[in-house]
Homo-oligomer: A and B are copies of this chain.
Amino acid sequence: MVMPMNEQDEQKKYDAKKYRTPDGAPADIVMFTLTKKERKTVTKTLPLRELRVMLIRRRSWPFAGKWALPGGFSRDDESLYETALRELKEETGVVGRHLEYLSVYSDPGRDPRGWIISHAFFALVEEEVLEKRQAADDAEEVGLFTIEEALDELDLGFDHRDIIADAYRRIQEKMLKTTIARKFLPQEFTLSELYQVIKAVVPDFEEPNFIRKITSTRSRKGILEEVRDENGVPISSNQYSQRPAQLYRFLDNVPRLSIYS
């Protein structure tokens, strides 16, 4: 492309700057999953659900031997979101159910390789994908840890503990303020399942009258609807219980919350 002369001059002046530039811009991904564990009971029961995060044991410098988030460097022909999507696919083989930018981590010295500004994303991935990944890969050691393990017990590389803590806060917030729970659930689900998903991500969420409240018109705020067949008869499922439970599905409506109303 031909440029007017003075623009070229200005550009040359700019290019001559001697400031140091970053040595890389990676995207690191906090991959969350909800694991389901069958419970041994007499009758049918809801599985236990636990929020877990996928980590990879580093094989090379820096932080060799330590657990860290999966990630990789961005290229100049892609946005950081595309970098994250590419890494997610490379790591899991799927695009996942959700991928969202979290924040930037740029403290000087955070990466011994140089001036490396990292961009953290978080993703939601189906349990099966990560389990398959865990079993199949012999090149890398992959672990699925609970949040408590990741934050309190493991010695993580880089500032990845901070990143996971931030991601955990963010997903807890989104769980309560948006309908992101749908990303952890099948299209149609029972209210107990929904409640359980919420509790798995936000343990101190307590709503003893959950079903009562969610089915009363106002609190529901138009986020859910009962599933009905073509004749308008409500459909229920007894997959997890003896007594069949009404199935619900999310609507596209995301309510606007406010502390002032």
Q: Which residues of A contact B (CB under 8 A)?
A: 7, 10-11, 14, 19-25, 60-61, 64, 73-81, 101, 103-104, 106-108, 113, 115, 117, 119, 176-179, 198, 205, 207, 210, 213-214, 219, 221, 223, 254-261
Contacts and interface: CB of A to CB of B under 8 A. Distances in A.
A221 B106 CA distance: 36
B108 A7 contact: no
22 contacts: A10-B64, A14-B60, A20-B76, A22-B24, A25-B25, A25-B117, A74-B117, A76-B108, A78-B108, A80-B104, A81-B106, A117-B117, A176-B256, A176-B257, A176-B258, A176-B260, A177-B257, A178-B259, A210-B260, A219-B261, A257-B258, A257-B259
A77 to B, nearest CB: 5
Contacts of A24: 19, 21-22
A196 B39 CA distance: 54
Chain B CB within 10 A, most for which of A64, A76, A104, A259 = A259
Main secondary structure of the interface of A (DSSP, over half): loop
A221 B259 contact: yes
A106 B80 contact: yes
A64 B8 CA distance: 13
Given A19-B24, A254-B259, 6 more contacts: A21-B21, A176-B256, A205-B260, A213-B260, A219-B261, A223-B259
A235 to B, nearest CB: 22
Nearest to A198: B260
Contacts of A80: 104, 106, 117
Contact of A103 (B75, B101, B176): B101
B11 A61 contact: yes
Contacts of A115: 76
Nearest to A112: B11
Q: Which of A75, A81, A207, A261 counts the most chain B CB atoms within 10 A?
A: A261
A257 B257 contact: yes
